[in-house]
């Protein structure tokens, strides 16, 4: 495969020297989108005209796009997450899909662990105070060791978080829609209901896909059930947590701290939340490690040859 007839849409690939080198070595004739923006439907249709294969990221892969590209036979997903893909449309038009599960799991899990320790030890507000010229003396935080850590979504990333937490002696509880009973037994994870997860977690970390069932799941009512001394961490997808309700909880002191890598609108614009001293925020950097970027583009290249017929249910297309 030399890349003839392959369109590579994510602008990050062309802009990142190591990823671009990997791609050009494997697919020297592939057409790259130079960016800097993510293409909309019409731009994507024009870009992929004449292509029979594509590597796509978060471009809108809709019925409009697929039906306008009758020659397109295979799409491979670059990166994790696929909420911009209409899997029913892919199936209707017999377009095969390549995807590697968990390619970014270690990078996201390490960020989640970083958030846990930083929030428990007040790293964010203390750093902010010192940067602004304050002279904070000290502020007692809490150890991660021995905490009750709740994991909502024990898939690839949730499992990796569990592994990384092993040296800290935490009590790990988990809530899932899938059956991970074997993993739970092996790693001493206690399965709990959603309500118990909210009520017991001292640290609650979210690792859910963004679907019709999870959008807005952490609404005001759910957030009110969290312990007042808890820390809420979100490194999965924006829109799962109600950000206005979250700000209310932080402002009132009913939630100790939050640490988010993802937001409903990205780049994030909710400045009142972003500037809250007990809110630690990063700009969707979960997969942004050099080692993971290289593996991600390699996985996307493999996906072109390993693509399979689409089963929408497999990808939570609800």
User: Could you tell me if 15 and 35 are in contact, meaning their C-beta atoms sit under 8 angstroms apart?
Assistant: yes
Q: Order of strands across the sheet with 74-77?
A: 31-32, 6-8, 53-56, 74-77, 96-98
Strand partners, 149: 172, 203
Distance in angstroms (rounded) separating the CA atoms of residues 200 and 316: 28
224 is catalytic: no
Instruction: Choose the catalytic residue: 121, 142, 227, 284.
Output: 284
Annotated catalytic residue within 237, 249, 276, 293: 237
**56, two tokens:** 């796509």
Look up 284 and say whether it is catalytic.
Answer: yes
Catalytic pick from 186, 266, 290, 291? 266
Active site residue 18: no
Q: The dihedral of CA 15, 18, 19, 22: what is its sign?
A: positive
Q: If you write DSSP's letter for every residue of the chain in order, what string do you get?
A: ---TTEEE--HHHHH-HHHHHHHHHH-TT-EE---SSPP-HHHHHHHHTT-SEEEESSS-B-HHHHHT-TT--EEEE-SS--TTB-HHHHHHTT-EEE--TTTTHHHHHHHHHHHHHHHHTTHHHHHHHHHTT----------STT-EEEEE--SHHHHHHHHHHGGGT-EEEEE-SS--HHHHHHHTPEE--HHHHHHH-SEEEE-----TTTTT-B-HHHHTTS-TT-EEEE-S-TTSB-HHHHHHHHHHTSS-EEEES--SSSS---HHHHT-TTEEE-SS-TT--HHHHHHHHHHHHHHHHH-B---GGGGT--
Catalytic residue positions, numbered:
237, 266, 284
């Amino acid at each position: 495969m030399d890349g003839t007839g392959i369109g590579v849409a994510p602008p990050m690939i062309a802009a990142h020297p190591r990823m671009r080198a990997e791609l050009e070595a494997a697919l020297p004739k592939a057409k790259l989108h130079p960016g800097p923006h993510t293409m909309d439907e019409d731009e994507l249709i024009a870009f992929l005209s004449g292509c029979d294969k594509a590597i796509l990221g978060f471009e809108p892969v809709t019925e409009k796009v697929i039906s306008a590209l009758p020659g397109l036979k295979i799409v491979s997903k670059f990166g994790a997450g696929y909420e911009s893909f209409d899997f029913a449309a892919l199936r209707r038009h017999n377009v095969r899909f390549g995807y590697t599960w968990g390619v970014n799991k270690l990078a996201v899990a390490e960020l989640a662990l970083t958030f846990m320790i930083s929030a428990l030890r007040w790293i964010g507000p203390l750093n902010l105070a010192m940067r602004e010229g304050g002279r904070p003396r000290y502020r007692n935080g809490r150890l991660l060791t021995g905490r009750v850590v709740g994991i909502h979504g024990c898939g690839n990333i949730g499992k990796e978080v569990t592994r990384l937490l092993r040296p800290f002696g935490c009590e790990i509880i988990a809530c899932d829609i899938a059956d991970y009973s074997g993993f739970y037994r092996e790693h001493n994870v206690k399965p709990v209901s959603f309500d118990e997860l909210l009520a017991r977690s001292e640290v609650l970390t979210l690792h859910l896909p963004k679907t019709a069932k999870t959008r807005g799941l952490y609404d005001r009512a759910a957030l009110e059930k969290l312990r007042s001394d808890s820390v809420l961490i979100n490194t999965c997808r924006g829109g799962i947590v109600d950000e206005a309700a979250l700000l209310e909880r932080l402002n009132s002191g009913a939630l100790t701290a939050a640490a988010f890598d993802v937001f409903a609108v990205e780049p994030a614009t909710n400045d009142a939340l972003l500037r809250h001293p007990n809110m630690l925020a990063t700009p969707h950097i979960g997969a942004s490690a050099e080692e993971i970027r290289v593996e991600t583009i390699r996985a996307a290249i493999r996906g072109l040859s390993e693509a399979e017929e689409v089963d929408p249910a497999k990808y939570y297309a609800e």
